Structure 1
Amino acid sequence: MTPRSPRAERAIALAVEAGRRLGLRADRPRVLHDVFSVLVHLAPDPVVVRVPALAVGTPAELAEKQRRELAVAGWLADAGAPVVGPSPLVPREPVAADGTSLTFWEFVNETDPLGELSQADPKALEDRFAEQTGWAAELHAALADYPGDLPVLSPLVPAIGPALAELRKAPQSLTAADLDRADREYAALEALVADFPARFPQARLQPLHGDSPAYNLLRTADGHRFSDFEDVTRGPIEWDLTFAGPRGIAAYERAGGTRVDRELLDLMEGARLLQGLSALTVVPKVPELGPMLAPMIGQWRARTPLELR
């Protein structure tokens, strides 16, 4: 058995204590995932607790972000959309625990994990992403009717700003030229978010998943379920479609009958790479992320710097 990380051990303790406070049994907790967040299944109850491992911002800001996530995912679940919804066994509220806050979700039994496929057959992985990107059109159609207020492109602005400031103090593998370029790109994103319609009047801003719904999806015996709405936001659909590839974009357009703006998609892909660069701030805490982020940083350096025309 692979030893659990210290953050996973802490997550189990927090999840079990909070779950028992809410009346759950939590007799056989097990870790399902351990990177940016730790997912703990509180077996035998069908409940998964998401414990933030690398949350940025104050506890109050984290709780507000979690309330948005619970509200949107809960609204979608109530409407019958294919999502992993908040657990019906506890209130739909973040649960305070030792300086952070936790959220409680349905346990879903995944029948065809993506990790196994990616190791076995790259062509099958490409096929799956194209199919799942097409399914994102269904999610966007459901999200379009969400009645609540959401900030515009919040995973970018203001989220990237503090990370870039931190990288000025501890630049990891970045050069001074890299940091100067990153600051310029972030300033362009700030201008975009401040007045999006002026830059792209043809784009329609709507509620979005916020973090690649084609990737954050579970296949089950009863069909697919979109999950992990932590970065739920408003923006153009192109933000949810970054790096889906030509086949994925074609599948989305067929499924939704909506044309994807290639110029805006390219801009959003540049923004996604800048977001990846900002994630270097967590590498000291999660060293295994360094090799995972390296190709993205290479892509960022190789492409034309992001700017608004």
Structure 2
Amino acid sequence: MNGDAQAGGHAGAPQSRLAKDTYKRELFRLQTELVKLQEWVRAEGARLVVVFEGRDAAGKGGVIKRVTERLNPRVARTVALPVPTDRERGQWYFQRYVGHLPTAGEIVLFDRSWYNRAGVERVMGFCTEQEHRRFLHQCPVFERLLTEDGILLRKYWFSVSDAVQEQRFRSRLEDPTRRWKLSEMDLESVTRWEAYSRAKDEMFAHTDTAEAPWYVVESDDKRSARINMIAHLLSTVPYRDVPRPELTLPPRPPSTGYRRPPRDLQTRVPDHAGTLESDAARDGS
């Protein structure tokens, strides 16, 4: 597989933009199915690991948000590890990730994963040649051990063209609520586009295995990427609809004479929303 073209973007035709109404309708349907998947995982004691990888600004975070926003955080959790500590650097490379793997009845989504070694660490020189070669040798073995133990492992590579990546970087620079998503290392990926392409191709050559294949998601259109990834994930897991117990809202019992304490004895949050209504009315007059 080859998820990115060389500098110049995708090799195929540009990805068309999915209509917003169509996107919202299908997203709700898929999220309903994700809830069923969650209940199946919990009932069966299954363990599901989903790895999200790809270039900076490829849309991984947005997909993870749509996957998890209607799920129970006690069942489905996201792992986004910071830079390793000095102690972690002295460990076996995969050791820090093992502790975050799911137990029975859990879903874990890795927002970047052990593949940091094959990507940013490789390109930026944060690991040695020997460490990189060892990773490419050990990674398929590590993932084979996970799948042989019954873990459901799904790996997604989000492919974005160089033009769209630059457009998203510029958008983040101009948006104060998303500025935190950019770092100097993110911006350096613009000048190292081909180096990242070569590193990804080498990574795929060694780790796109029968036990743990890579699935490439075209992500120039974020809406399509979210729908395509979630639909594919659901299609690869043999979940079923788990019957839930019937719940009935009980009648409220009659009052026994409880009286609420006076409100002025409590420290209340100011009504900021109310001032907005007043300001809007005043501006409109």
Q: Tell me whether the two structures share a fold, i.e. TM-score over 0.5.
A: no
Which of these two proteins has the greater Rg computed from alpha carbons?
2
Q: Which has the higher contact order (CA 8 A, sep 6+)?
A: 2
TM-score norm. by structure 2 comes to 0.25
